Structure 1
Amino acid sequence: MKKAANFLDYHIRRWYTQVDEALANESGVLAEDGVPVRKVVVAAAIQNPYAGEGYSDDLSKIVNCSKELGAEFGRRLVQALAGDSAQSYGKACLVGAEGEYEHGNGFLTTSFANPIREALGGGSAWIPSTGKRSEIGGGIDVPLACKDALYVRSHYDTITVNFPDSPAPDEVVVIFAIATRGRIKARLGGLTFDQVEGKDGLR
């Protein structure tokens, strides 16, 4: 059953915001500068317009409003950052049983991602992404990587999320995650975030 649209052509049943703050690593070692890692997740449970309809070559009912959806994600992410800056990002989707995994990917295109990049003050590296079909309450590990240069080893990270009442069989949960710094006490060498921030020659 098609539900009434409440965000352009989408029916969004629920928004989620999660903030995780780590003060020390798994060994109890604090960050040298005392600054915690804040990971912010914004997600939306959206009715899948193709749920239960079988195969379709045309996914425009998902893609057409992606730009505006991304802008709203960006606004919510910045609000949750509360003045902090994002250094890494990642995206994911959970697709309810009546949909295809490809339907979830339809929500995560460049049209969706670019307004988020803009809201976060830029991001020239590709955005790591994952997804799967899921039962209600299923979890997923969202990968994170540096937003300005992929090969910053300290910023390879993950945040695990789940949504107790989503996705319903006819829904997709669209997920975007950001982090304010790399792993605490990362010590594998390589480029640092300070070396690549704002420098177009390092990607």
Structure 2
Amino acid sequence: MTLISVPGLRIRRQFVLAETTSAEQSIERDPPLRKVAVVAVLHNPYAGLPVGPLNDFIAASAALGRAMAEAGVAAMKPFGIESYGKGAVIGLAGEQEHGIALITTPFGDALRAAIGGGQAWISSFSKRAAPGATIDIPLAHKDALYVRSHYDGMTVHLPDAPLPDEVAIICCFANRGRLNQRLGGLDAAAVAGVDGLT
């Protein structure tokens, strides 16, 4: 794994999780469903401080999004990425806004570019929590939110994180929709170029 290093951010821990599922209800599927989570746990210099601008986090977030996406692409090989999601878990001395500052537009735009493009909003979830937290990151198709086959998620456990003055940033990716999806709706194969932002 290539270490994530971003100027202006002190990253204490980072890890990549990958899971591959090849069958559901005893039905084998090809390709299998691979999900990847990339996690960066970093120092929160805003923890415990009065409300104020979060410009340093926002400025650094594009480089963070790019680096995390590149790690996700590497872990997903030999598959490509069809869906994504993001999240933040903020230590208890911080506030939810600190995590959101790191995963807003500059982060999302850089992430999309690094995976080869994406038209849709990146689904997200954030919360404050103590070390050892789990978080469910929602997944949706990267080019159109309304592709039902790709409504999914990934549960990520954060051992020893986040400490009270930390933020854990998480990106999740998948190479396909659910293994036995059969609910109809917009077809993933037909969404190239669809504007998922509407």
Task: Please give the TM-score of this superposition, normalised by the length of structure 1.
Answer: 0.91
Change (3 A) 1:195 1:11: same
State the percentage of identical aligned residues.
42
Q: Which runs of 5+ in 1 are unaligned?
A: 1-5
The one-letter code sitting in structure 1 at the alignment partner of 2:28 is L
Query: Is 2:22 aligned against 1:23?
Result: yes
Q: Which residue matches 1:199? A: 193
SS at match of 1:65: helix
SS at match of 1:30: strand
8 A Cα contact 2:99 2:126, kept in partner: yes
Task: Please give the TM-score of this superposition, normalised by the length of structure 2.
Answer: 0.93
2: CA distance, partners of 1:194 / 1:104: 34
8 A Cα contact 1:123 1:148, kept in partner: yes
Q: Which runs of 5+ in 2 are unaligned?
A: none
Map 1:182-193 onto structure 2 (within 5 A): 182-193=177-188
Deviation string 1:108-145 (CA, Å, 9 cap, x unpaired) is 01101111111111100101010100110100100000
Q: How many residues align?
A: 193
Q: 2:75 aligns with which of 80, 83, 108?
A: 80
Deviation string 1:17-38 (CA, Å, 9 cap, x unpaired) is 000111112x22222xx21100
The one-letter code sitting in structure 1 at the alignment partner of 2:177 is G
Q: Deviation at 1:7?
A: 3.0
More strand by share: 2
1: CA distance, partners of 2:102 / 2:63: 11
Map 1:95-106 onto structure 2 (within 5 A): 95-106=90-101
2: CA distance, partners of 1:147 / 1:78: 14
1: CA distance, partners of 2:77 / 2:63: 22
2: CA distance, partners of 1:117 / 1:201: 14
Q: Deviation at 1:202?
A: 7.3
Query: CA-atom RMSD, angstroms?
Result: 1.4
1: CA distance, partners of 2:63 / 2:196: 30
Q: Which residue matches 2:107? A: 112
